Structure 1
Amino acid sequence: MPDSVLAVDQGTSGTKALVVCPERGVIGTGFAAVRPRHLPGGRVEADPEELYGSVVDAGRRALADAGEPVAALGLANQGETVLAWDPDTGRPLTDALVWQDRRAEVICGELDDHADELRHLTGLPLDPYFAAPKMAWIRRHLTRAGHVTTSDSWLVHRLTGAHVTDAATASRTGLLDLDRAQWSPRAVELYGLEGERLPDIVDNAAHTGTTSAFGPELPLTGLAVDQQAALLAQRVTEPGTAKCTYGTGAFLLAHTGGTSRRGTSGLAACVAWRLGGRTDHCLDGQVYTAASAVRWLTDLGVITGAADLDPVGAAVPDAGGVTFVPALAGLAAPWWRGDLRGSLTGLGLDTSPGHLVRALCEGLAAQVAELADAAAADLGDPLTLLRVDGGLTRSALLMQTQADLLQRPIEVSALPDATALGVGALARLGADPRLTLADALPDTGPTTVYEPRVSADEATERRTRFRTAVAALLAGGPA
């Protein structure tokens, strides 16, 4: 029987598939682009059929590239992207509302009096970023028919016919009782979703069905939300360390152990994973725009792409007094003000593209440092280091800036596709319960370690400038 697995990461802007062999590493890859639509009013939609097609295309390409059979399939998902769909035909009944979509602000506004109750129940702040407000918006404005779920449940149903979601993804909805890892009747009631056929909640490594969508019949044995899969691949399995993935957004997760832990610093509390019925937990903070902020600078013509960050930024010694709060899709954790816009201050006639690049890197790094400080405050101890992955980790300028502002070492993962590798490890565990978690995880150290190069005083000064700019936004932005 083959030991390799097919690991598929269905992301915001594309689907990456890997064939992973425990001895030889990645032996096949495939990619298929996804094109979400950014519409007025903070709306972000995707064609569900394009999402499903990208999963099948990327998976088949990876299998063809590997040229050998695999034992099982693992599937990672975007987390908070939702749609309505017909359980009889599998046909989508609406577009997919992507996690960045803000149209459910009105739903959250109506529930403001219940924000503390919901946060205590579910671990999540009341924000349209999460799935439940979007699900309620779909039911109110688009259709009452079919099921309304996160995108993973629909993809799994199309692949296998099962109606399930994993415990980690369920914890991103705003409908999960975090202490019991079961759907909360009270949260369901508050969101007006009574009577919904919610998916069964399963372990992250478990046999949930079989599919022939990729050619040979494969068991689906691993499921995870993207950031928790990356957390696992980075071997952040004990409290004290954290990981940050720099993708479309930046996502910092800190492991908190076997009991749910609600912080007071503005982070979300979530399920990290559930294996063999045992639930691990994490704290989670987001920066809504990371690579998408780089794309914004690119669209303006300041740079030609992410590869320009280092050479353009190297043309100047610092940000030249420019401060950039790159809240181009709103401020996420720990402020939770998705209604606010970004700011770019301190501009002068001498401001150059290099200053803007450095200001962007500093703004991103400062936001991630705020998340790390919030996690440390909630844990009661400082984080010892930050493990990082994602496309923007190729920028030495951004990573050095991150180490400088955080005043902690930054370990850049040797795993460029940590999410896929994490769900691949879950698929191996689900296919072979004799394996331990340590056996299933990739055993790879960092490619680079960035140590702080500036003093603590300078880091404090730079972060204070950023906090001052955020405070100005909070004071003057929409209520």
Structure 2
Amino acid sequence: MTTILAIDQGTSGTKAIVVDAEDGTVAIAEETIRPTYLPGGGVEQNPHELLDSVLTAGRRAVSMAGRTIDGVALANQGETVLAWDEATGTPLSPAIVWQDSRAESICAELAEHREAIAQRTGLVLDPYFSAPKMAWLRRNLTRDGVVTTTDTWLVHHLTGEFVTDASTASRSLIFDLDGAAWDGRLADLFSLGDERLPRIVGSDEVVGTTRAFGQETPVAGLIVDQQAALVAEACLEQGTAKCTYGTGAFLLANTGSDPVRSSAGLTTSVAWQAAGQTLYCVDGQVYTVASAVRWLQDLGLLQSATEIDALVAEDSDGVMCVPAFAGLAAPWWASEAM
């Protein structure tokens, strides 16, 4: 019998699920997180809140399941970054969330390299991705410690290791999509060439062990949350696709072993690395979905998200709301849109 604690550390919350090979889903626990939205396009999270949500949700789920677990898997936000002290694990900055658009100036400075970056990485030169945020953080907040995506920091707290998975690395703009490895030339473009970058691992690789949820347990299954949803929706074959809704909405299609470049404003990433193979996906993004519904609730226009269908069914006299609160993503890529 194999019992797995699967943790999805997202933008608006962390969900922990205990699944068993025989009994299916046996426990679910959730912790809510509220990002801080700042003037000028800033979106931040408290790193301690992220870690606490992982530990609290995970321990609650294990307690509810009433059984020991054989492994821990972790899905992450993908492009959210922070600086931290590798010796102590102490955060040295807020977590700069994937919705944060303050790195637009970094992208503007590199505009002449836009086509070359797109061809090399499969991505659009946009502050959505992690390298511009890392460069902005280094320029504006701190030069100390290491700067990584949040998954590396969380896994370090769980296991002591310094790793990220290939799907997360591929969301950075400093990753060679065809070679599935860090690209030093791209890192230099973003003034990140001297940074210590985490070791890239496959999603099926056991990266270490943790005692955070009871007895010492292997940690594996590292992956970006949207690629994890591609697996969860059984989009395992080339040509299959899914759209999931959370803080944002994300449409991903499995392209198999072909890192196809989109001509329609979509992006291409590693879907996952497993069993010695690298599979790819194309995706389109809407940044603000559930967070827009929460905004309507905060304004008092909705009491709960379940009322949204009735509201949109009413006659709007031709008025349309485009919730570009964090800019527009695919296919427009207008981070300044509001």
Deviation at 1:292, TM superposition (A): 1.3
Tell me the equivalent position of 1:22: 21
SS at match of 2:206: strand
Q: Within 5 A, what are the aligned runs for 1:61-460?
A: 61-314=60-313, 316=314, 319-341=316-338
Deviation at 1:242, TM superposition (A): 1.3
In the aligned structure 2, how far is the partner of 1:232 from the partner of 1:40?
36
In the aligned structure 2, how far is the partner of 1:54 from the partner of 1:326?
27
In the aligned structure 2, how far is the partner of 1:103 from the partner of 1:313?
32
Tell me the equivalent position of 1:54: 53
In the aligned structure 2, how far is the partner of 1:225 from the partner of 1:94?
22
In the aligned structure 1, how far is the partner of 2:83 from the partner of 2:117?
23
SS at match of 1:323: coil
- Greater Rg, structure 1 or structure 2? 1
SS at match of 1:325: coil
Deviation at 1:194, TM superposition (A): 1.1
Tell me the equivalent position of 1:383: none
Aligned length: 338
In the aligned structure 1, how far is the partner of 2:32 from the partner of 2:72?
20
SS at match of 1:138: helix
In the aligned structure 1, how far is the partner of 2:152 from the partner of 2:210?
14
SS at match of 1:205: coil
Output one character per residue of 1:382-421: Cα deviation in whole Å (capped at 9) or x when no partner.
xxxxxxxxxxxxxxxxxxxxxxxxxxxxxxxxxxxxxxxx
Where does the alignment leave 5 or more consecutive residues of structure 2 unmatched? none
In the aligned structure 1, how far is the partner of 2:120 from the partner of 2:4?
36
In the aligned structure 2, how far is the partner of 1:273 from the partner of 1:18?
21
Tell me the equivalent position of 1:399: none
In the aligned structure 2, how far is the partner of 1:246 from the partner of 1:59?
22
Is the deviation greater in 100-109 or in 295-304? 295-304
Percent same amino acid among aligned pairs? 58
Larger helix percent: 1
Output one character per residue of 1:88-112: Cα deviation in whole Å (capped at 9) or x when no partner.
1111111100111111111011000
SS at match of 2:205: strand
**Residue identity matched to 1:291:** A
| TM-score under structure 1 length normalisation | 0.69
Where does the alignment leave 5 or more consecutive residues of structure 1 unmatched? 342-479
SS at match of 2:292: helix
SS at match of 1:238: coil
**Residue identity matched to 1:324:** C
1:3 aligns with 2:22: no
**Residue identity matched to 2:164:** T
| TM-score under structure 2 length normalisation | 0.97
In the aligned structure 2, how far is the partner of 1:60 from the partner of 1:31?
11
In the aligned structure 2, how far is the partner of 1:324 from the partner of 1:96?
29
SS at match of 2:263: coil
Deviation at 1:141, TM superposition (A): 1.5
Q: CA RMSD in A?
A: 1.2
